Chains A and B, each alone.
Chain A
């Protein structure tokens, strides 16, 4: 059973702080990793993806991947109240020519206080 684990939170940070969201996965053959943000009552929206070990930065967001430790994280710098949402980690373990069958974690709820 392929699994993706996340701390459900809530993770509470003050405005302007760095929020650190973590995710571990069970399948060593996993190839690509995605972070989605989901506001309450809305559908998930893609923030970033990463497939190579190391860091990938996009604006205030940094994704970090360590395949040896089967660990992926998302850092949000200068957190804003608008970042308050549930963050879903997703792992593509079953890639084939057909598409991207992602396995999702339960998500971590982030609350940024002003």
Chain B
């Protein structure tokens, strides 16, 4: 496989459930990101990991918990979500160390909270 792969593609969960989103990159990058995309709003940066360490957390509620066990894998653990958390969650990777390094996105997970 190549690029950035996200699973699952679609997820429906109740407010009391616990689920996890998975992301894997095969580009040899050393930085990974979670973005949230809601209707009529810009992409929102949630978390940035560089060399498996979290370097940015944009005031995201604690019901979202990221995990980066190595430079190729990134998880987003979800628990007690709210209906307003329904959105497209995008994982991305890049090569850190250059301001011109673009982000490469996965296909996203469409999350619906009921």
Contact = CB atoms under 8 A, between A and B. Distances in A.
Contact of A31 (B96, B99, B104): B99
Interface stretch (B41-49, B60-68, B78-86): B41-49
A51 B98 CA distance: 12
Interface string A3-17: 010000000000000
A26 B36 CA distance: 21
A100 B42 contact: no
A112 interface: no
A43 B108 contact: yes
Contacts of B41: 106
Interface in B21-76: 30-31, 33, 40-43, 45, 48, 50, 55-56
Interface residues of A, number: 28
B48 A101 contact: yes
Given A96-B55, A100-B94, A51 B43 contact: no
A43 B90 contact: yes
Interface of B: 30-31, 33, 40-43, 45, 48, 50, 55-56, 90, 94, 96-108
20 contacts: A32-B99, A44-B43, A49-B102, A51-B100, A94-B56, A96-B55, A97-B96, A98-B31, A98-B56, A99-B30, A99-B48, A99-B96, A99-B101, A100-B94, A100-B102, A101-B33, A101-B48, A105-B42, A106-B40, A106-B42
Given A44-B103, A100-B102, 4 more contacts: A43-B90, A92-B99, A99-B30, A101-B33
